[in-house]
Chains A and B, each alone.
Chain A
Amino acid sequence: MLARRVVLQKCLALGSIVVASHFSADSMLFAFQEGEKQHPKPTPPNPLGPFYKRLAPVNNILRAPGDPGLPLTLSGQVFDTRGDVVPRATIEIWQTNHHGLYDVDGYRYRGKQTVDTTGAYSFESVIPGHYPDKSRVCQHVHYVVVAAEHKPLVTQLYFATDPAFEGDPQKNYSRDPLLQTPELIRPVVLTGEPSELHAKVRFELYLERL
């Protein structure tokens, strides 16, 4: 496959892109590529359920002291597809516990928060477990993001460290039948001493304007 820059250069050579006289070809390419960076794609959707529970508490500390599992900090920012921060978006997340089970009776590992003026959010949790029934569903965290004048986003975050991906999520993402793109699989950064490891994952969210 041709790189985008090569395609653009070919188009310029063939005259299918017309450059105004005061731009050089290189400056046109630079402007195009910079412009593209400023128009990120919306975060791909992923199924909602079926374990969504209404009326989750406003709470970003989902991990209780002594909970089993690798502690996890989930953070990121909410943008629109022009790259502008979306302030006051509400993010609701839910996930299984370390053993792969959802709390359907209460609200453990369920919470929501409204992002600040920089669009930033953060949740403290644990890496979710795999479903206990030999499921092929990979470890994941559910997200619903709602903001005024934007299309609601329902998606899921997956972990690049999931053994199902065998270290190559780009190649093996479809081992989870609900994953149609590797874009939802995020790298996991481990910090701390070996006896007190802590996982950090960033997940930026891009909403479409209505």
Chain B
Amino acid sequence: MNMKVAALMLVCGLPVVASAQSGRQVNTINLPAGVTVQYGTMSRAGTMVATIDGDNVVRVWSTGSGELLQRLADGGHPPSDVAFSPDGRYLAIVYQLVPNEKGVLRIFEVDSWKVKHEFVVPDVFALALSPDNRHLALSGMVTQTWDVENSRLLADVSPPFGGSTSLSFSGDGNWLATADGDGHVRVFDAATGKPRSSGTEFALEPLAVAFSKDNKAIIAGGVDKTVSVIDPETGKVLRTLSKQPGLILSLDVSADKKQVAVIYGSADSFGKVDHLILWDLDTEAVLADFRKPGITILGGAFVGDHYLFAATSDTQLGVWSLR
């Protein structure tokens, strides 16, 4: 789930109601006293969760042991977004320096937690690193691609208005898909910013976009409650899973492109993010349906034959498994 959506979620009260649930909780992490999680993301291997917490600290947790691996803060500057590189070697964090204007991006080496790259960027609410770690994409007031090694701006791929809500690189790192506030999903050459097609139109705002690992499909969804499979070459919608129970806030596609995990919000209660469905992308069958009122689902990853995801309540961070 992107930080823009999380920022809106934040403002909403979450009812705590006991209910039945599917899925298996594999770990429970008790948060430090007074600390609440505002946003979180899981590494693609499912071994770590990074959270942006209410005390303006990014904490990195081991999903296996529950151990706090690192605590990353920048004085009083609030973290705007955090993202693991797909290979899990790096963690990128943007700290907001001036609201709506600029932030500082730091890319940490996960092994040593040393800063590998640091540069000033526009204020950011979505961030992605390419699988080969060559390119970085960010969006906030503008949407840009950067050359990581040389800390160099490559291209401005901003939509006409509204910013980009979600960003995803193709498996080879050459293409960037953006879910844009003006109702389009667009694909660009990451190095040059050249559009690959004229884009795909949605009636309502697309909020989530994910490139398949083989570069041959883009999965997108948003406020119009559909999951669309898009041809990246043409922008044409190849298939639509229309029976979606809520706003699509986040989605992940499995490496074999057979499953998609969708995290839902509600149009009537936007802060309620407690519903996740695992879909078979070929048959459009529901493989698993998880709902647990009182928690906020942060994000997850396909690991082996199951989907591992993190969720938070007031005092805990939970790691769940679904298959």
Chain A residues engaging chain B, CB cutoff 8 angstroms = 44-45, 47-55, 101-102, 104, 131-137, 144, 146, 152-154, 176-178, 180
Residues of A within 8 A of B224 (CB): 104
Whether A54 touches B7, Cβ cut-off 8 Å, given contacts A102-B267, A133-B270, A154-B162, is no
Residues of B within 8 A of A144 (CB): 161-162
As a 0/1 sequence over residues 226 to 238 of chain B, the CB contacts with chain A under 8 angstroms (1 = contact) are 0000000000000
Whether the pair B12, A133 counts as a contact (CB closer than 8 A) is yes
Whether the pair B12, A50 counts as a contact (CB closer than 8 A) is no
Question: Once the chains are docked, how many angstroms separate the CA of A104 from the CA of B99?
Answer: 30
Question: Once the chains are docked, how many angstroms separate the CA of A95 from the CA of B207?
Answer: 19
Residues of B within 8 A of A146 (CB): 160-161
A-B contact pairs, 24 of them (CB 8 A): A44-B100, A45-B100, A49-B181, A50-B5, A50-B8, A50-B165, A50-B181, A50-B223, A52-B204, A53-B223, A54-B182, A101-B268, A104-B223, A132-B269, A133-B13, A133-B269, A133-B272, A137-B8, A137-B11, A152-B160, A152-B161, A154-B163, A178-B7, A178-B8
Task: Indicate if B186 sits at the interface (CB-CB under 8 A).
Answer: no
From B165, B267, B271, contact of A104 by CB (8 A)? B267
Question: Once the chains are docked, how many angstroms separate the CA of A162 from the CA of B10?
Answer: 20
Residues of A within 8 A of B5 (CB): 50
From A44, A50, A55, A133, contact of B203 by CB (8 A)? A55
Whether A133 touches B271, Cβ cut-off 8 Å, given contacts A48-B163, A51-B204, A154-B161, is yes
Whether the pair A50, B247 counts as a contact (CB closer than 8 A) is yes
Question: Once the chains are docked, how many angstroms separate the CA of A62 from the CA of B151?
Answer: 48
- Tell me how many residue pairs across A and B have CB atoms closer than 8 Å: 102
- Give the nearest-CB partner of B181 in chain A: A48
Task: Indicate if B173 sits at the interface (CB-CB under 8 A).
Answer: no
Whether the pair B160, A180 counts as a contact (CB closer than 8 A) is no
Question: Once the chains are docked, how many angstroms separate the CA of A104 from the CA of B141?
Answer: 25
Question: Once the chains are docked, how many angstroms separate the CA of A104 from the CA of B224?
Answer: 7
Whether A54 touches B160, Cβ cut-off 8 Å, given contacts A101-B268, A137-B11, A177-B10, is no
Whether the pair B268, A135 counts as a contact (CB closer than 8 A) is no
Whether A178 touches B11, Cβ cut-off 8 Å, given contacts A104-B223, A152-B161, is yes
Task: Indicate if B201 sits at the interface (CB-CB under 8 A).
Answer: yes
CB distance from B243 to the nearest CB of A (A): 16
Residues of A within 8 A of B223 (CB): 49-51, 53, 104
Chain B residues engaging chain A, CB cutoff 8 angstroms = 4-5, 7-8, 10-13, 99-100, 141, 160-163, 165, 181-183, 201-205, 207, 222-224, 247, 267-272
Whether A53 touches B141, Cβ cut-off 8 Å, given contacts A47-B4, A131-B270, A135-B13, is no
Q: Give the one of A47, A102, A176 with max B CB within 10 A.
A: A47
Residues of B within 8 A of A102 (CB): 267
Question: Once the chains are docked, how many angstroms separate the CA of A55 from the CA of B11?
Answer: 29
Residues of A within 8 A of B100 (CB): 44-45, 180
Question: Once the chains are docked, how many angstroms separate the CA of A136 from the CA of B161?
Answer: 26
Residues of A within 8 A of B99 (CB): 180
Residues of A within 8 A of B270 (CB): 50, 131, 133, 135
CB distance from B167 to the nearest CB of A (A): 16
CB distance from B203 to the nearest CB of A (A): 6
- Give the nearest-CB partner of B13 in chain A: A134
Whether the pair B271, A135 counts as a contact (CB closer than 8 A) is yes
Question: Once the chains are docked, how many angstroms separate the CA of A177 from the CA of B13?
Answer: 13
- Give the nearest-CB partner of B183 in chain A: A54
CB distance from B163 to the nearest CB of A (A): 7
CB distance from A152 to the nearest CB of B (A): 4
From B12, B201, B247, contact of A136 by CB (8 A)? B12
- Give the nearest-CB partner of B11 in chain A: A136
From A45, A48, A177, contact of B7 by CB (8 A)? A177
Residues of B within 8 A of A136 (CB): 11-12
Residues of B within 8 A of A152 (CB): 160-161
Question: Once the chains are docked, how many angstroms separate the CA of A45 from the CA of B247?
Answer: 24
